[in-house]
Amino acid sequence: MIETPYLLFLGDAPDQLAAKVAQGIKDWRPENAVGQFRMDGCKADLGLPDLGLAEARAAGAKTLVIGVANRGGVISQEWKKVLVTALEEGFDLASGLHNLLRDEPDLVAVAQATGRKLHDVRVPEVDYPIANGVKRKGKRCLAVGTDCSVGKMYTALAMDAEMRARGMKATFRATGQTGILITGDGIPLDAVIADFMAGSVEWLTPDNDADHWDLIEGQGSLFHVSYSGVTMALIHGGQPDALILCHEPTRPHMRGLPTYQVPTLEELRALALQLARVANPECQVVGISVNTQHMSEADAAAYLVSLETEMGLPATDPFRFGSGKLVDALAAM
């Protein structure tokens, strides 16, 4: 668990896109973002106060989060100076970079000397159990996709925000590095040892109030041969009561697999529901979330109407049209 709130380190980001992790934190958990720290040449700006390390500490920030991709896969000496000073000023560090903070001897030495923590959110920090399949209290919703990268995390975060706004009991449950940095907690499922995948999802979504919803971040796709085992573990470990189908209708083939066709939403519905009912016979498919970014607004609206007719399910693009319909469907269960 990463201590919040954060100071968001943007470093020398070459453009706004490079700071998308920091942007996600600011968009979804603004209360976690005390300010931003930018170095000379930084081309990203989140519109947050530019704070020095001491100022941010005084404002309550507990962790410096690396919210930016690094160039060339190395943690540069310029970054190092800031990171070392942050540890000395009392910050923990959190990072989703491929190169791990714990592999940098100078950072490890300073962290040990100062008693601060280095969080590499790509690496599990917990010894997860093997799944036991025992039915848990409370309700769970999982987003499943026809493909990878079709908006599953966005859908769950948008539903979580809408449910909180309505006063419903809801918790977004992160299963990937960006989600973990946004919320400060979660499981890096793609880095978990095979035997413990489903158990880690059970651990992430424990017993809860009967009217509480866990909104579990999806990963991969049942139809993506590289990652389908991870998706399966989410479906069986998560015991979802509700599934949201996620889709990107303009994709020519499965992501990274040029000879694999994207399945239809009907195929996804049938397969995901059959598998989910192994762990939870009451599971239902309750809605469809479409990433329409490559369609005009008129085309997107028409497509959603046609989907609703064909599939008999509420359909929306949560980014364009909000997640209200999906939350209505959960509330009606």
Question: C-beta of 237: minimal distance to a copy of itself in Å?
Answer: 7
45 alpha-carbon distance from chain centroid:
22
Residues in contact with 330: Cβ distance below 8 Å, sequence separation at least 6, in sequence order: 139, 141, 159, 163, 168, 213, 242, 286
What residues line the site for a copy of itself (CB under 8 A)?
130-135, 189-195, 197-199, 222-223, 225-233, 236-237, 256-257, 259-260, 271, 274-275, 278-279
Which CB sits closer to a copy of itself, 168 or 275? Answer: 275
Question: C-beta of 207: minimal distance to a copy of itself in Å?
Answer: 16
Question: C-beta of 310: minimal distance to a copy of itself in Å?
Answer: 21
Query: Can you say whether the dihedral through the CA atoms of 128, 134, 138, 143 is positive or negative?
Result: positive
Question: C-beta of 206: minimal distance to a copy of itself in Å?
Answer: 16
Question: C-beta of 196: minimal distance to a copy of itself in Å?
Answer: 9
Residues in contact with 193: Cβ distance below 8 Å, sequence separation at least 6, in sequence order: none
Point out which residues pair with 213 in neighbouring strands: 139, 170
Question: C-beta of 14: minimal distance to a copy of itself in Å?
Answer: 27
Residues in contact with 62: Cβ distance below 8 Å, sequence separation at least 6, in sequence order: 3, 4, 5, 6, 91, 92
Cα(257)–Cα(254) distance, rounded to whole angstroms?
Answer: 5
Under a CB-based contact definition with an 8 Å cutoff, are residues 331 and 170 in contact?
no
Write out the H or E segment, with its range, that includes residue 95.
Answer: strand 92-95
Which CB sits closer to a copy of itself, 106 or 266? Answer: 266
Q: How many CA atoms lie within 13 A of 191 on its CB side?
A: 16
Question: C-beta of 24: minimal distance to a copy of itself in Å?
Answer: 21
Which CB sits closer to a copy of itself, 212 or 277? Answer: 277
Which CB sits closer to a copy of itself, 57 or 255? Answer: 255
Under a CB-based contact definition with an 8 Å cutoff, are residues 150 and 246 in contact?
yes
Q: How many CA atoms lie within 13 A of 57 on its CB side?
A: 11
Which CB sits closer to a copy of itself, 175 or 292? Answer: 175
Which CB sits closer to a copy of itself, 99 or 226? Answer: 226
Which CB sits closer to a copy of itself, 65 or 197? Answer: 197
90 alpha-carbon distance from chain centroid:
27
The three-class DSSP label of residue 127 is: coil
Q: Quick one: tokens of 283?
A: 């599971």
